[in-house]
Amino acid sequence: MFSRSTMLALAVAFGAAGLANPATAACTGGLDVAAAFAKQREKKAFRMDANVISGQGPLKMTVDYVLPDRLHQTVQIIVEQRAIDAVLIGAKAWANEGDGWREAPADIKDELERQLTDVAEETSEQVAGFECLGRELIDGRELAAYKAQEGPKDMSPDAASKAPTNETVRIVYVDPATGLPARTVIGRPDKLDRPLYKAIYSYPDDLKIEPPVVK
């Protein structure tokens, strides 16, 4: 049976937020972000590499998306020095905790489906509230940035007692040359150099997701 920690690790994902292309138009905040989600969906295949601070400690995640119905997620639980793989293809899901692939239980399958739906069907209402920050130089690349206020994030077991100081902001960045999302950062406003979540997006031309070999 899959452990509780496994299910929690697989549940950690903030989504693959996209951005609009502001290279030829004035920034319009949420409308730009909504347009970017559409552009990312049109791309069909993309990868998200993320570092997450969760209640389990630091996690590293790689999630491959091949729309409309395929997802491959790898979660590395740093403190436990182990990795968990999960694949969703259509109505079927598999998971591997290090002892071979097998059919995933219903709760993990449901979580993978939710993640895929969040990416494939995100609406403009879900990305309202973004403001324009202008251009920033990030790792030698000039990117356009947008910021939105987030609610409290339950990143630790005692998060509820820290609710007044647990508000976060979400900053998303776009490569003006392509109009595709480059990265997302979520963190407390005074600690954005140490974000709770940082994702970098890439768009491999050969990205594929196939059913795993089950024992």
Kindly list the domain boundaries of the chain, sorted by start residue.
16-202
Predicted local distance difference test score (pLDDT) of residue 152: 53
Predicted local distance difference test score (pLDDT) of residue 163: 44
The model's pLDDT over 120-160, given as tens digits with 9 standing for 90+, comes to: 766 555 566 788 999 999 999 999 898 988 755 444 444 44
pLDDT at residue 175 tops 80? yes
Interior angle at CA 186, CA 148 and CA 111, nearest 5: 105
d(CA 54, CA 76): 12
- Encode burial over 35-54: b for 16+ CB neighbours within 10 A, e otherwise: bbbebbbebebbbbebbbbb
Strongest mean pLDDT among 40-44, 151-155, 201-205: 201-205
Q: Is pLDDT larger for residue 206 or for residue 155?
A: 206
Which CATH number does 16-202 carry?
A: 2.50.20
Q: Provide the H-helix boundaries in 90-205.
A: 106-120
- Under the banding of pLDDT at 50, 70 and 90, the label for residue 209 is very high
